[in-house]
Amino acid sequence: MPSVKLSMEDMSLIASFEKITGAPAVDVVKDDEAERIIFVVPRKHLGRAIGKGGSNVRHASEVLGRHIDIVEIADTPEEFVKSALAPARVQKVEISEQKDGTKVASVTVKDEDRGIAIGKDGRNVARARILVRRHFDVENVVIA
């Protein structure tokens, strides 16, 4: 598992997020392409990070000036992909190694959740790709 390196800017974002939400964060990714900031929180802290009725995440978004995504960390790449694609109901995640040595996560979701898993303009699957590459060296996430 690759170790994630945080810049001073990343640590500052995490400190702001923690102060606003009261929830700890273990990682942050500024996704400039999608104009959002993705925070990764430890298990059992997702509810606190989001807040009642989404109040904490909304407030963080206002203060930081970007849309905020929050994903719960996981111990395995399969579970992390599921977490990153939530609220889509993921049925199965299979990690396979390609001939060139790269790893790809193939995801099966319920038909009615396919749009949720992909997200508007592919935002949700892109979030899963960014995070699973950063934490588990899995190069791609494909919705099967």
Domain annotation for the chain: domains and CATH numbers: 8-72 (3.30.300.20), 77-143 (3.30.300.20)
Let me know: does 89 contact 109? Beta carbons within 8 Å: yes
What is the pTM (predicted TM-score) of this model?
Answer: 0.93
Tens digits of residue pLDDT in 12-66:
999 999 999 999 999 999 999 999 999 999 999 999 999 999 999 999 999 999 9
CA dist., res. 26 & res. 44, Å (int): 13
pLDDT attached to residue 4: 85
